[in-house]
Amino acid sequence: MPPRPWLDASLATEQRVDALLAAMTPAEKVGQTNQVANIDPDADADLIRAGRVSSSLCASGAHAGNERDAGVLSSATEAAQRVAVTESRLGIPILFGRDVIHGHRTVFPIPLGLAASWAPGLAERAAAVAADGADAARRATEAGVDLDMASGVCAAPPSRPGRGPRSRRRRGERPASSPRGRDQQEGRYLDAPSLPRLPFGFGRGYATFEIGTPTTSAPTLARAGGRVDVSVAVRNTGTRAGRELVQLYLSDPVAEVTRPWVELVDWRWVELGPAASETVVFTVDAAQLGYHGRDLRHRVDPGEIVLSAGPHCQALRGVSVQVVDEEDA
C-alpha cells in the first residue's frame, strides 16, 4: 500500500489534513458525509472498504441502542473499524455514535412527551441527568461509542414534511439515507421512508379525476366574522363514471404555536360521468382558520393563510388569502 502521510501522527494537523484532502477522490469525500444505522461488518464491508461510510449510529432495539442487542455490540463496531483502518484505501476510522439524548442507561420520554406533561421542572431534571458527563458520556464511552447526540431545536423550515412521533406530520428533517436497499425495505430508524405509505384521504377508483387550482371570491378575509368562497374545478378525465372526494385544507405559515403542516377544513363528494366537469364551492369563515394559542384560548391571527384543494393531503394546489382586521377588509 502506498504511503499515507495523513496517518503520520508526527506531522502537523494541517499537513495531515492537506495531504488527505489532496488524495481523496470526489466519491470518497461524499462518502465521509454518509452515516449508516447499526453498521454490519459483514454486510457493509464493501462500503467500508470503498470509503463510503464515515460514521454509524447505534440505535437498534426498542430502547435507542441501550439494550445490548446485535446492533450495538462492541464486537460488531470493532470488526467494522478493523475493515476501515486496515482494508480501505485511506484508512480513515469510523465514528460510532448512540442516541444518548434521553440518557444512556437511564432513559426518559422523548421531548414531546416531556412537554406534554406541562411540568418544566421535570423536563429540566431529565435533561440534567442526560447531560451529566459522569453518567451518559462515561457510560456511552464504556460501551464503545465515540460520540453522543446533544438535544437541539431545528429552527429552519425544510422543503418537505419529516418524521415524527405523531401521525399528522409537520415540518422536520430527514436523515440522509444510506445506499442499502435493505434498510428501506425493513423500515429501520434512520432509513425508514419519511412519508406515510398512504396519505390521509387516499383512495383509488375506476375513474380518474383532475382537480384544479382553487380560486377565491376575495383576496382578503376579515378575521372577525369574515367569509370567503373557494371555488375548485373538478373534471373526470377517465372513460368511466366515478365519484371523487374533493378535500380542502389550510396551512398557516406563521402562528403563535406550532400548527400541523396542513389541516382539513371541508370536503365534498362529486359524481361525474366521463369527460364531465363541475365546480365545487366551499364557504370558509374566519372561525375555521383559528387555533388555540399558548393561553389555550381560540384565536384568529391576521396574516397569510393558504387554502389548498386536492384528492388527498399530498396532492394539493393552493391559493393565499390575507386575514385582516375588519377596518382593512
pLDDT tens digit sequence for 166-175:
333 333 333 3
Buried b (16+ CB within 10 A) or exposed e, 159-180: eebbbeeeeebebeebeebbeb
Q: Is 227 helix (H, G, I), strand (E, B) or coil?
A: strand
- Whether residue 214 has pLDDT greater than 70: yes
pLDDT number for residue 45? 93
Of all residues in the chain, the percent with pLDDT exceeding 90 is: 47
pLDDT band at 68 (very low <50, low <70, confident <90, very high): low
215-246 residue pLDDT tens? 999 999 998 889 999 999 999 999 999 999 99
pLDDT number for residue 184? 41
pLDDT number for residue 124? 79
- Whether residue 281 has pLDDT greater than 60: yes
* For residues 258-266, average pLDDT: 90
- Whether residue 21 has pLDDT greater than 90: yes
* Higher pLDDT among residues 144 and 222, named by residue: 222
**CATH 2.60.40.10 boundaries in the chain:** 209-328
- Whether residue 329 has pLDDT greater than 90: no
* For residues 79-96, average pLDDT: 92
pLDDT number for residue 187? 43
Q: How far is CA 17 from the centre of its chain?
A: 33
- Whether residue 179 has pLDDT greater than 50: no
Asked which of 42-51, 93-102, 218-227, 295-304 is least confident by mean pLDDT, the reply is: 93-102
pLDDT number for residue 2? 73
pLDDT band at 189 (very low <50, low <70, confident <90, very high): very low
- Whether residue 288 has pLDDT greater than 90: yes
* For residues 50-74, average pLDDT: 69
pLDDT band at 120 (very low <50, low <70, confident <90, very high): confident
- Whether residue 102 has pLDDT greater than 70: no
Domain 209-328 matching CATH 2.60.40.10: the answer reads: yes
pLDDT number for residue 87? 94
* Higher pLDDT among residues 62 and 266, named by residue: 266
Q: Is 229 helix (H, G, I), strand (E, B) or coil?
A: strand
Q: Are strands 209-211 and 317-324 parallel, antiparallel or unpaired?
A: unpaired
Q: Can you give the pTM of this predicted structure? A: 0.46
* For residues 16-41, average pLDDT: 91
Phi/psi for 226 (5° steps) reads -75, 155
pLDDT band at 177 (very low <50, low <70, confident <90, very high): very low
pLDDT band at 125 (very low <50, low <70, confident <90, very high): confident
303 Cβ neighbours under 8 A, 6+ residues apart:
253, 254, 322, 323
Burial of 6 (0-12, 13-18, 19+ CB in 10 A): buried
Average pLDDT of the chain to the nearest whole number: 78
pLDDT number for residue 289? 93
- Alpha carbon dihedral 88, 89, 91, 94, in 10-degree steps, equals -50
